[in-house]
Amino acid sequence: MHKHPLRKFLGLTVLYIIVIVGIFVVQFKTESVISRSFGDLSYSVSQTQTENNETKLKNRFSVSFKGLTFNVDEKNPVAATDKNGNITELQLNGYSDNSADSVRFTFDKGNSIEFRGGTKEDGFVDFSISTQISAEYKSISIPYKVSQQYTSEETSAKSAFLLTSKNGEFIFTAPAFENARMVFNGSESTARFATYEATKQFEFDQVEGYEGASETAVAKLYEKLRSSMVSKVQSLLNTAKIDSLSEMDIAAYVAELSSQGKYNQAIDSVPDSFKKGNKRSYITSPFFNNLAVMYRSLSIQNEKYKSLVESKSLDVFNVDGITDYILREKKTQKIKDLLLVPSQGEFNATVYQSGGILDVYCRLYAKDKATAAYLEPVLNSCIEKIKAGCRLENGILTFQEEDESILSVEQSVIVGNALAMYGKHKNESSYIKAGNLAVHTALNQQEPEIRTLSAIYHIMAPDNFYIPHTEILGYYGNTCVWVWTCAKSVIYTHKPADTANIFIDFPLNLTHYMIFNGVPNFGGRIEIQGQMFRTDPRFETYNSSGYVYQQNSRSLLIKSRHKSKMELIRLFYEGARTYETTADPAKIPELPKPAPKVEPKPEPKPAPEAEAPAEAETAPAAEAPAETETQN
């Protein structure tokens, strides 16, 4: 036995090798690991073989990118939290890496996580983790680990921090970081790891994780500023400093109080010195009457719009109310020429002008997609111009023109709001968040003055119909019918073709004033609240509805005192009219049905009598009064 030690050693070695190999063969026959790399991004997935020789994924995978690792296993699973706070471990169902730079993992009940990104040619790192969360859960979380090669520095954002290594500086953002896990929810579903260089070109998704980028943060700020604006205006009214307030200040103040159910209180709190003074124009006419005089200022404003359009300057896209003017005149060549100006030659709009173009496009698209389409060729250029003007530092996003001038608070809110509007139109969350952050930055640094707040009030309260505004009602050929109003809605139709029906939605028992434009002469045949009315230049002084028609301007001036929430005014024409309404057919109210005709019952025949006496003379019946039109 001791004669052949070498032979014994070799025999045992072979035996051990066979045993070890056998163990590995058995193990790998039932379990295997699949791995793949895309540059700096790599992943691995574990799977096992069942008794039926079928392959099944284990609830275990790993993803790594430049010192970031995401190791999911039985001890650290992907966890989902429902609306009651209950936590569930999600099971891995599948994975796919069809894209050249991403891998997507799918879990039970429709949840998924996608890892995407890498290093670009210029060395810029851009890595993201996005999730899809089923309606059953309010959030999901995944474990993560940051390599010790990075040093961490907190930022002003609650869900972002800077990571520094010998290879550069990076920003790491997520909806939330909790106990070495990244938490995602339905509205904030993306995390990001990217190169951070203050001097490098801004990218919209760099705002991910900043508090001011959320719609909730902006909405709360708007609510606070609207309340502040009302308090400031009331303070000046109480101290008889009405001269320091502009007409826009008064309009915003009345609109805001009206939205709180204080319409009459707001009207009464404005002194007669303003209502009857020379500061007024058509802007506040829906609240304070004097329509015939105010119409002159409306005509002057229309001439200004006309001159601006004919100038073909890009500044026109930042003029308040220009979208409504474009819709009124959309069938003319001058409007088509204007909308083509931005796309002619080299695009040279400023940041502010680019925001104006986006704003006009979004508002046009909501009303008339065909007209909005003229601006589509330059929309990407507008986005690139705005992006080039963005300056982000510690959660503060400002806009800067090429000459390094910083946009004012009002301009920043207009551009930021336009960017957010366009983001909703394109379903691009990074645009929305960047726009929100710019608005939040502009309004949160220092409380704006009343003048600024009233100028952007329509942005802060987009659903407040009490703000004096234009309603585009329809067209007689190329002539637009429109109204300057503070009504919730105004619908103008022809049914039958010789009758115009005007439906006005406004709170019951309240009074407001409207200037209709483009209305053909109806010869004084008008029905208000079911009664025929006649014109009277003093119509605004009566405690009832009334009107005046100005034939030269084709304008109909209406005082509407609501006896019902939806008032109906009817204009009767001689012969049919060709009219194109802009109203949604589903929203057109039904006309009241005429009262049924009641046939008189025949009188019973008298019983036969004896010979009638000689007929006596009778006094003539009193003459019935002539039917008159109701005067308001």
pTM exceeds cut of 0.85: no
Structure tokens at 333: 């060549």
Name the residue type at position 408.
S
> Do 176 and 159 touch, CB atoms closer than 8 A?
yes
Q: What is the pLDDT of residue 16?
A: 61
Radius of gyration of the chain (CA): 36
Distances (CA, A) of 491 to 486, 525, 574: 13, 19, 21
- Positions in the chain whose pLDDT score sits under 70: 1-30, 51, 120-122, 154-159, 186-189, 197-201, 594-632
Q: What is the pLDDT of residue 31?
A: 74
Q: What is the pLDDT of residue 393?
A: 85
- The Cβ-side half-sphere exposure at 352, using a 13 Å CA radius, reads 19
Name the residue type at position 352.
Y
Structure tokens at 67: 């010192």
